[in-house]
Each structure stands twice: as C-alpha cells, then as structure tokens.
C-alpha cells in the first residue's frame, strides 16, 4: 500500500506562537571570554579566590621586565576609581632598562589580533608624581613583535579615563596587550579594556560579531537569560561578592558594575548586563525572557524570610518597568538614560531556575500575585526542577496550576534513546493547563545521532503546540578552553566558532517554524516499531557507596515475585569505589530489600540493577548531588537519563529499610515502606517517519520530516487544498553523515543542511527520505 503523507492546508490546528528560541546561559565562559567582546581578562583587577581558588588580583597579568628594568606590580584598594570597583593596579617602575611595564594575556591562547583590524583601548590611570614621558600601549604578537602602538599621558591629579585606537599590522591569535613606562615612578591603572571595533551591530560595550551572528542566524523567537544555576546559586545579599544574579548590579557604566563570582567557577564582570541582553534580543528579533531568583538558593538552602520578600518582589516589578515603562517612570527613565527610550516589550518573565523544595514554591506565590496584580499581561513562568518526572517535578506543576502560572519551565538532559522513547511525552498534556516551557534540554552529545534524535523529538514538541509553548536547547555556548558542561550548541575559542550538528537542527527548526500547525495525516506508514524486543530489566544487582561516602548494608533479601522464592545475601560495609555484587537475575518480576545505613560522607547509596556493564544499567540513587535526591536513572552506552526524582536527604548513622521492585521495565522504590519513585524505563520506539507541517503568515507551507532509521523511505506527499497549484520553494536536507560524525573547527559545516530548489506540481509529489535524514520543505504558491 502506498505510503501517503497528507497535509490539510485548510485547517490551521494550533498557533505555534514563540515555540523555538535560545537560552543564553553564562557558563563555559559564554559571556566574559565569549559573547562579550572584551579582550582583556581581569580588566579591573577584581579576580578573587571567591570566584575560583586559583584566582588572584593579578590573574591574566604579567610583568614586563626587559634587560635592566625593575618593576613591581601590586593590587591595592586604598583609593579606587569608585567603591563598586575597589581594586586597581599600582605599578612601580624603578628602572626602565630595555622595557618596563606589564601585559595582559587575554583569554585562551591570548588576545586575537587580525591584520588591518581596529581595536579600541581604554583605561583609567594616574601617577603619584608628574611624569613627562607618555605611557606606551602596544599590541604585540606571542613573540613580542609589535603589531600596533599608541600612548597616553597620565597625570598626577587624580583618576582620568584614557582612550586610543590601535590598528594591527599582522594577524596573531596569541597576542598580548602591553603597557610600558618610559620613566621611573609610581603609576596606577584600572579598567584596562580592549575591544575590537568590529562588534555586533557596532554597539558600545558590544558583542563578538561571529558568535552573535550565529545566534542571529537562527532567528529565535525568544531568548532566555542569564542562566541557569547562576540565577539561584549564591548569597542572598546583592552586595556580596558571591550574590545570586541580581539584575540591578548589571546596569550603567561598566566601571561601576561590581565584579561577581559566577557559580561555575569563574569571574563575571557583568559587562554583559541586562541592558545589553535586552538590546541584543531586540537586535536579533528575539523576545526577551529574563529569569529572576525567587529569594531562594536550593543548592545551599538559603532563603529570604517571607516577611522580607518585599524588596525581591519589587526588584521583579522594577525590571518590568525598566523594560516596558515609559520614560516618565522611575525605571523607564533609567532605560531611556542608558540610550533606549523605546520600551523593550517584555512579555515573559521567569521566577526561579529549576527549583526544588517547598521554600521556593511558598515564595513563588508572593511574586506571582504581586506581578499579576500590577502587570496582568506579563506571562509568568514557574519552575519544575531539573528532572523530567517525579515528586519535585509534580510539585512545580501543582504550584503552576494553583497559582495560574502561564508556563512551567522543564529541564532535562537525557540519552538520545530517551528522547526517542519519549516522543509522545506531551501527547497527553492538556491545552487548558499552563503551557510547557522546555527551558533546557539536550541529548548527551554533539554527534549527528544526537541531532537526529533531537529533531525527531522536536516534531513531537511541535505537534503538541497546544501544550508546549516555548522550547530552547541548552547550553548554548562553550569556550573550548573553559568547559563546565558538555554537550553545547556552539563551540568557540578566541577567534573561531562553529555550530554543532545540534545547532543546525535547531536553526533549521527555528528558521522554519511556521505560525500555525496544519493537520497532517500519515497513511500506511508502518506502526511504530520497538528498537529492541521489550526485554525486562533483568541482569546483575549491585549495591555501592556513592562518591565520598561510606555505607553499610545488611539483611539483604531477593524475592522472585512470581513464585515467592526468596534468596538471602551477605551484607557488607562499603567505601567509595567498593561494590557488593548480589545476584544476576533473568527474572522479569523481582524485589530487592535491605537495610542500609550511611556511616559518613556527602552522598548515599547507588543500587544498580538490570546491569549489563557500567555503561548499560539502571540505577537507584539515594542522596545524589547535594544529598537531596532519591532518583532512578537509566544508563545507555554510558549516557544517563533521570527517569524520576524525589527530594530525599540521607542522614548519617540512621538505618533505612530500602526496597526496589522491578516488573518488566516498570520500577518502584520504597524507603521505610513509603513509595518514593515509580517509573518505567521505556525502550526507544522508532517511528517510520516523524513529521509535522505548518503554514506561516506569508502563506509558506513548511513540512518537517525525520527518518531516524537506516533505510530510505519513499512516500507521496500531498498538500490537500493545493491540487491546482504548483508549489515551489526549497528543500533543506541533512543526510549522508555517519551517526558519530561531528562538526569541528576544521570542518565547521560538515553536518549542515544542503538547500535545493523543489517544485511540487499540483501540490503533490513523491518524496524519498534517505536513511538517517532530516528534511524541511518550504513551499510557496508563487516564486518567492
């Protein structure tokens, strides 16, 4: 029977709204040393061990003492340029010799300099006593060869800002910014900055053009910012060096923005701040989606007392006024003074990042009520924790329903197999519930296989646009020399950037989103086929102690749940790295029971079951990261997927009755008789064809199709209602790659769509999708 994909062009099923966007998260040096174009690292001498144990005030700076020179560098704080920027550099040039001064090493291999490109230098400086000879500013290559030179004449009557423009005479990606004295004396410097003149859209305090352009090319409907964990991990006092991310700290002249610890182990200058984020959103046509802390740090259990929440809620209201208020309002005026009289048209606001725990949800309600009352049109986003299912996830959804949140932020990082197995995840979500904001998701990896699985999953998001409002892949950016997290969508060093296979899928879906979903029917496609037989979770059972932890287990009982037969095993005391191998079972319905006790350490137990090897197993984890989880995960080829999670703290020297029941692929866990987890480790289902279709407001028809299988598939495609029309347009195809293939600096577009012209005569035609391919057709009635 002929396979037929029919798209009913007369039925606009669901508006697709702002479905696909991006998430800018400041980790992996995505801001400083990344999108933010500043080339000097530690420009204001504020680096501190609070940011990173290896940091100090002179991180990334070195002294220059050529033959006969004598120089000392000290970071001081007695007379700063302002109180928010407390440290500065004191340079004592005791002898000049062949060259006396200091230099900045930049990020990565150094300061990237390109022949004929212009660089904007600026700094604050002064001297203790008058000097006659100017200070020389040089851009040099790695070997010290001078590629550009300028000068400044500091004075001894207080801090002053100096600027000069430098043009590089050669290319060197390991350059240095060198500042040389020509006369002995005491010199002071602060906010030493170097920007390429060529920044994105020529903005002041601007963004690196090559990275910004890759983002702009996606035409995202929205941009979530600035994180991630950095939003809610930190001190509650906005004046503290390690404070939570507080937006008001990020406004105004860069020299007045305080330095902050980024919880990913580095320093944030806040040079890329809220004004710049809003401006960038506007520049790329993305709706801004800021996320504010909810007065709670789930990583350290810090919380603002309810009666002191007022200023935090006011901060959220002020942000809305900053973005949308007219220039007569207090915060609208500040925006206008910063150079943007027109509002930024804020529509979405997130409170909290992947929150776990009652204290957050207690506080969310106060934020929600106050914002709703004053700004009823703002779409408020609640949070459902870092996992795809479980009690904490449900708690987020319950809170969203009770409060009437517009959206719920879901986060999950899983194996590609999980994404294929969960293609139907949102089929049962209800249109009348808050909408899903899939604020962070990715399959573990940047191979073509990952991108293929994500593309298939995304057709599932799109066909469920009644329930899924917004979705963005995460993380977005990664500097190859400062990796906190992988995979990432875009990789860069100090002068090159490339999009991964995942990037090209995201871009393909974003640039071809469509405005309305069309009714689409597949006829005679094979029923979904399971990738493997529906095999039970049998295999070895192993108890082990988690990292840094010592546990005891005893009274171990294994029960065949079909026959009632019982086996016993000897208990053991286990340290990190030790494991107790118990049974190797072929049963499909069994129960393991034991008494477990944590003796010491920071985490708890790991119980592996369905164990084939370390890379392929299921795990019941008690304690987990931060000792706050009881979760079940599934590991496929070394890539884990958390199937469900509940909040649980394992106490020291307390006995727990632990029980695991497995039936087929269904799993239940109990602690002291209380059901903690209930889940199913679903096997991937491979559909013969994943598809979705939409129409945009210009009348373009968009058909997305994904073949995750090895063999090609041929079928007829008909756009019903267009039988008398020749539809013309483009076919974008990703195919012909190995599943393990990846893009790289050397081959940045190895995996990227190939565009070809297509004609669908009389609205119909035969389509062949090669094995492992992603195809998007964009068709219009005229020859646009």
Asked if residues 147 and 172 have their Cβ atoms less than 8 Å apart, the reply is yes
Contacts of 94 (CB under 8 A, 6+ apart): 70, 71, 72, 184
Task: Tell me the residue ranges of DSSP E strands in 464-546.
Answer: 468-471, 477-479, 490-492, 497-499, 516-523, 529-530, 539-545
Query: Least distance in Å: CB of 411 to ligand AHR?
Result: 6
**Per-residue buried b or exposed e for 511-538, using 16+ beta carbons within 10 Å of the residue's own CB:** bbbbbbbbebebeebeeeeeeeeeebbb
Residue reference for tokens 């609208």: 332
Query: Least distance in Å: CB of 231 to ligand AHR?
Result: 8
Q: Which stretch binds ligand AHR (CB under 6 A): 109-117, 221-229, 575-583, 736-744?
A: 221-229
**Interface map 308-347 toward ligand AHR (x if CB under 6 A):** ----------------------------------------
Site for ligand AHR in 222-251 (CB under 6 A): 227-229
**Interface map 529-568 toward ligand AHR (x if CB under 6 A):** ----------------------------------------
Q: Closer CB to ligand AHR, residue 16 or residue 490?
A: 490
Q: Closer CB to ligand AHR, residue 353 or residue 692?
A: 353
Query: Least distance in Å: CB of 751 to ligand AHR?
Result: 22
Q: Which is nearest to 486 in space by CA: 445, 432, 536? A: 445
- Assess 625 for contact with ligand AHR (CB under 6 A): no
Query: Least distance in Å: CB of 387 to ligand AHR?
Result: 10
Query: Least distance in Å: CB of 229 to ligand AHR?
Result: 4
Sheet holding 70-76, edge to edge: 70-76, 88-95, 185-196, 118-127, 160-167
**Per-residue buried b or exposed e for 18-50, using 16+ beta carbons within 10 Å of the residue's own CB:** bbbbbbbbbbbbbbbbbbbbbbbbbbbbbbbee
Among 474, 569, 592, 660, binds ligand AHR (CB under 6 A): 474
- Assess 707 for contact with ligand AHR (CB under 6 A): no
**Residues belonging to the active site:** 354
Burial of 741 by CB count in 10 Å (0-12 exposed, 13-18 middle, 19+ buried)? middle
Query: Least distance in Å: CB of 277 to ligand AHR?
Result: 16
Q: Closer CB to ligand AHR, residue 185 or residue 439?
A: 439
* Two structure tokens written together for 387: 């996992």
Query: Least distance in Å: CB of 386 to ligand AHR?
Result: 5
> Is the previous residue joined to 567 through a cis bond, with omega within 30 degrees of 0?
no
Residue reference for tokens 């006024």: 321
Asked if residues 461 and 471 have their Cβ atoms less than 8 Å apart, the reply is yes
Q: Which H or E element spans position 310?
A: helix 310-324
Per residue, the 3-state secondary structure of 145-167, as one string, reads CEEEEEEECCCCCCCEEEEEEEE
- CA 360, CA 574: separation in Å to the nearest integer? 35
- CA 286, CA 223: separation in Å to the nearest integer? 6
Q: Which is nearest to 7 in space by CA: 512, 676, 719, 610? A: 719
- Assess 34 for contact with ligand AHR (CB under 6 A): no
Site for ligand AHR in 348-377 (CB under 6 A): 353-354
Asked if residues 82 and 121 have their Cβ atoms less than 8 Å apart, the reply is no
Q: Closer CB to ligand AHR, residue 154 or residue 293?
A: 293
Q: Closer CB to ligand AHR, residue 227 or residue 604?
A: 227
- Assess 386 for contact with ligand AHR (CB under 6 A): yes
Nearest residue to ligand AHR by CB is 228
Q: Closer CB to ligand AHR, residue 190 or residue 410?
A: 410
Q: Closer CB to ligand AHR, residue 229 or residue 592?
A: 229
- Assess 704 for contact with ligand AHR (CB under 6 A): no
Query: Least distance in Å: CB of 79 to ligand AHR?
Result: 38
Among 366, 375, 485, 625, binds ligand AHR (CB under 6 A): 485
Contacts of 39 (CB under 8 A, 6+ apart): 106, 107, 111, 112, 119, 177, 194, 195, 196
Q: Closer CB to ligand AHR, residue 245 or residue 594?
A: 245
* Two structure tokens written together for 4: 């037929």
Q: Closer CB to ligand AHR, residue 392 or residue 440?
A: 440
Query: Least distance in Å: CB of 766 to ligand AHR?
Result: 42
Query: Residues in contact with ligand AHR, total (CB under 6 A)?
Result: 13
CA distances to 89, 602, 716 from 713, rounded to whole Å, are 66, 52, 10
- Assess 25 for contact with ligand AHR (CB under 6 A): yes
Q: What angle do CA 338, 205, 33 make, to 5 degrees?
A: 140
**Per-residue buried b or exposed e for 96-120, using 16+ beta carbons within 10 Å of the residue's own CB:** beebbbbbbbbbbbbbbbbeeeebb
Site for ligand AHR in 713-752 (CB under 6 A): none
Query: Least distance in Å: CB of 264 to ligand AHR?
Result: 8
Contacts of 317 (CB under 8 A, 6+ apart): 370, 371, 374, 375
Query: Least distance in Å: CB of 716 to ligand AHR?
Result: 42
Site for ligand AHR in 389-448 (CB under 6 A): 411, 440
Among 99, 106, 475, 729, binds ligand AHR (CB under 6 A): 475
Q: Which is nearest to 62 in space by CA: 42, 81, 80? A: 42
Q: Which H or E element spans position 407?
A: strand 407-414
Rule CB under 6 A: which residues touch ligand AHR?
A: 25, 27, 227-229, 353-354, 386, 411, 440, 474-475, 485
């Amino acid at each position: 029977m002929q396979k037929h994909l029919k798209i009913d062009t007369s039925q606009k099923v669901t508006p697709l709204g702002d479905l696909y966007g991006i998430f800018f998260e400041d980790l992996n040096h995505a801001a400083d040393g990344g999108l933010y174009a500043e080339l000097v690292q530690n420009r204001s001498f504020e680096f501190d061990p609070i940011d990173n144990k290896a940091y100090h005030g002179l991180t990334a700076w070195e002294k220059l003492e050529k033959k006969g020179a004598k120089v000392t560098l000290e970071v001081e704080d007695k007379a700063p340029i302002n109180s928010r920027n407390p440290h500065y550099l004191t340079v004592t040039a005791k002898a000049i010799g062949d060259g006396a001064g200091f230099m900045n090493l930049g990020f990565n291999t150094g300061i990237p300099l390109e022949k004929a490109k212009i660089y904007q230098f600026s700094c604050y400086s002064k001297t203790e006593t008058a000097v006659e000879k100017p200070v020389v500013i040089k851009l040099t290559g790695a070997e010290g060869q001078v590629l550009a030179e300028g000068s400044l004449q500091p004075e001894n009557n207080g801090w002053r800002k100096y600027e000069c423009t430098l043009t590089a005479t050669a290319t060197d990606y390991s350059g240095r910014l060198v500042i040389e004295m020509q006369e002995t004396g005491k010199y002071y410097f602060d906010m030493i900055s170097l920007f390429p003149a060529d920044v994105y859209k020529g903005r002041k305090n601007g963004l690196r053009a090559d990275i910004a352009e890759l983002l702009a090319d996606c035409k995202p409907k929205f941009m979530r910012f600035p994180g991630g964990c950095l939003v809610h991990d930190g001190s509650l006092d906005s004046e503290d060096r390690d404070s939570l991310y507080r937006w008001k700290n990020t406004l105004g002249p860069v020299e007045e923005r305080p330095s902050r610890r980024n919880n990913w182990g580095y320093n944030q200058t806040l040079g890329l701040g809220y004004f710049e984020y809003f401006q960038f959103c506007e520049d790329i046509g993305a709706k801004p989606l800021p996320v504010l802390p909810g007065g709670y740090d789930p990583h350290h259990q810090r919380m603002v007392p309810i009666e002191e929440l007022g200023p935090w809620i006011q901060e959220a209201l002020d942000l809305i006024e900053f973005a949308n208020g007219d220039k007569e309002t207090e915060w609208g005026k500040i925006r206008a003074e910063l150079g943007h009289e027109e509002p930024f048209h804020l529509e979405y606001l997130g409170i909290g990042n992947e929150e776990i725990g009652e204290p957050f949800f207690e506080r969310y309600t106060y934020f929600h009520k106050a914002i709703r009352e004053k700004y009823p049109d703002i779409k408020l986003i609640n949070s459902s924790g870092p996992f795809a299912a479980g009690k904490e996830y449900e708690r987020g959804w319950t809170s969203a329903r009770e409060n009437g949140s517009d959206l719920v932020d879901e986060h999950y990082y899983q194996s590609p197999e999980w994404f294929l197995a969960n293609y139907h995840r949102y089929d049962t979500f209800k249109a009348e519930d808050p909408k899903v904001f899939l604020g962070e998701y990715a399959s573990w990896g940047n191979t073509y296989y990952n991108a293929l699985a994500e593309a298939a999953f995304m057709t599932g998001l799109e066909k469920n646009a009644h329930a899924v409002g917004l979705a963005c892949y995460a993380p977005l950016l990664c500097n190859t020399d400062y990796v906190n997290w992988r995979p990432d969508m875009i990789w860069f060093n100090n002068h090159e950037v490339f999009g991964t296979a995942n990037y090209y899928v995201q871009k393909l879906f974003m640039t071809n989103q469509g405005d309305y979903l069309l009714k689409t029917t597949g006829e005679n496609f094979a029923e979904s086929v399971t990738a493997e037989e529906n095999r039970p979770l049998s295999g070895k059972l192993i108890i082990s102690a988690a990292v840094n932890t010592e546990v005891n287990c005893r009274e171990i009982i294994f029960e065949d749940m079909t026959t009632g037969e019982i086996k016993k095993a000897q208990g053991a005391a286990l340290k990190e790295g030790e494991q107790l191998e118990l049974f190797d079972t072929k049963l499909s319905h069994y129960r393991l029971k034991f008494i477990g006790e944590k003796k010491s350490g920071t985490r708890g137990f790991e119980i592996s079951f369905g164990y084939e090897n370390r890379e392929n197993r299921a795990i019941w984890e008690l304690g987990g990261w931060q000792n706050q989880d009881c979760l079940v995960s599934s590991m496929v080829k070394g890539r884990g997927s958390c199937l469900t999670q509940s909040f649980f703290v394992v106490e020291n020297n307390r006995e727990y009755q632990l029980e695991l029941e497995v039936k087929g692929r269904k799993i239940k866990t109990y602690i002291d008789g209380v059901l903690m987890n209930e889940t199913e480790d679903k096997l991937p289902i491979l559909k013969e064809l994943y598809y979705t279709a939409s129409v945009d407001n210009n009348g373009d028809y968009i058909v997305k199709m994904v073949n995750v299988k090895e063999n090609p598939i041929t079928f007829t495609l008909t756009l019903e209602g267009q039988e008398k029309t020749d539809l013309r347009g483009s076919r974008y195809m990703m195919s012909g790659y190995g599943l393990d293939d990846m893009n790289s600096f050397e081959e940045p577009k190895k995996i990227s769509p190939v565009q070809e012209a297509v004609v669908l005569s009389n609205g119909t035609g035969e389509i062949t999708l090669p094995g492992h391919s992603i195809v998007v057709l964009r068709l219009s009635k005229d020859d646009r």
